[in-house]
Amino acid sequence: MPKIIIIGNSAAGFSCCDTLVKNPTEKEITVISAEDYSAYNRNLLLGYLAGSIGEDELFLCPDDYYEKNKVRFLKNSKVALVETKKQRLTLKDNIKINYDYLVIASGSKPVLPDIAGNSKEGVFIFYALEEIKEIKQRLMLADTVAIVGEPMVCVELAGVPLLRDKEVKIIAKTRPDSFSPSGKQEWIEGLEVNEIIGEGAQMQAIKLTNGKVIGMPLVIFAGAHLPASEFLKGSDIETRDGCVIVNDLMRTSIENVFACGSVASAKTWDDAIKEGITAAESLIKQTKGENNLCQQTS
């Protein structure tokens, strides 16, 4: 029975897993997720923060999906090393797992600027559900908030109802025409945050590149992402600018390793879903071909 490991549990990873589950062939499936949740739709996180979407509406499957479909689901787990010659993964806690087929669907990772104080409490990245929950809680008490990053993402965040009565400082590139500031919103162009200031663990202010200091308990970074492929270093899996190189079948430079989603070539959520399905279908065809070959030579 082939052992299949899927790294990642977002659009591509879940669609790949679900396609494999619906195929009747015998297999063992393991899904490795860096988060503590079942698969959910990241595109809906803004609506969740805005209050227009409930938490239950985020999820792509019920909590018992993995158990019912006999999928081994490893939550809060990160891959540290991939050894393609040994067909083995090592997780951050040094647990080793062997595989026959590997699907890399680790997606992208948000980029936090390398500035002093960026690990203080009150510094968040708009990306994952757990952080959005914390942002939601902190917005209940914060009077002043900075939103830093890609202009259009900043505009969307600034429109969230929880921010309407806050003093909002948007620090981004050229202000889009679509931005209509309220009396408490200010768009700061031509400057960047170069330090997070605070006593102890809690942030208290941001310092801009012109030396100006603005007091606030909360800053949200949004928009910049890179492929989450750093764990592939030394694996012999070919990448370009961090993206895993794949063919039309989502196969990588290693025959039994596939990749899909934003870690490979997908640019949108729908693209990632399609690539996850393609990767699963290609893997199924390959396993059937190998099984037929074994039967013919036995």
The answer to whether residue 67 scores a pLDDT higher than 60 is yes
User: Is the full-model pTM beyond 0.85?
Assistant: yes
User: Does residue 116 form part of some domain?
Assistant: no
The answer to whether residue 35 scores a pLDDT higher than 90 is yes
Sign, Cα dihedral of 150, 155, 156, 160: positive
DSSP lists the bridge partners of residue 251 as 258
Query: What is the residue-wise DSSP string for 105-164?
Result: ---EEE-----BTTTSBTEEETTSHHHHHHHHHHHTT-SEEEEEE-HHHHHHHHTSGGGT
User: 162: buried, middle or exposed (CB in 10 Å: 19+, 13-18, 0-12)?
Assistant: middle
Give one word for 50, left, alpha or beta, with left for phi > 0 and alpha for psi -120 to 50: alpha
Segment 132-141 long-range contacts (CB within 8 Å, at least 24 positions apart) = 132/45, 132/48, 132/49, 135/49, 135/218, 135/220, 136/49, 136/162, 138/217, 138/218, 139/163, 139/166, 139/218, 141/217
pLDDT, residue 291, reads 54
The CATH number given to whatever domain includes residue 175 is 3.50.50.60
Sign, Cα dihedral of 220, 221, 225, 226: negative
User: Does residue 77 form part of some domain?
Assistant: yes
Residue 232 and residue 103 share a domain: yes
Minimum mean pLDDT range among 102-106, 182-186, 246-250, 283-287: 182-186
Which amino acid, 166? K
Of 222, 241, 265, the last residue of a domain is 222
Model confidence at 298, pLDDT cuts 50, 70, 90, reads very low
C-alpha to C-alpha distances, 8 to 48, 175, 296, nearest whole angstrom = 22, 35, 35
Of 192, 222, 252, the last residue of a domain is 222
Model confidence at 183, pLDDT cuts 50, 70, 90, reads confident
Model confidence at 290, pLDDT cuts 50, 70, 90, reads low
pLDDT, greater one: 279 or 183: 279
The answer to whether residue 224 scores a pLDDT higher than 90 is no
The answer to whether residue 164 scores a pLDDT higher than 90 is no
Residue 13 and residue 105 share a domain: yes
pLDDT, residue 267, reads 87
Of 197, 222, 247, the last residue of a domain is 222
| Total number of domains constituting the chain | 2
Q: pLDDT tens digits for 259-272? A: 999 999 888 999 99
Model confidence at 79, pLDDT cuts 50, 70, 90, reads very high
Phi, psi dihedral angles at 20 (to 5 degrees)? -65, -40
Look-up: residue for tokens 């890399």?
Answer: 104
What is the domain extent for residue 136? 123-222
pLDDT, residue 178, reads 80
Mean pLDDT score of the chain? 93
In whole angstroms, how large is the CA radius of gyration of the chain?
22
User: Does residue 201 form part of some domain?
Assistant: yes
The answer to whether residue 18 scores a pLDDT higher than 90 is yes
DSSP lists the bridge partners of residue 72 as 30
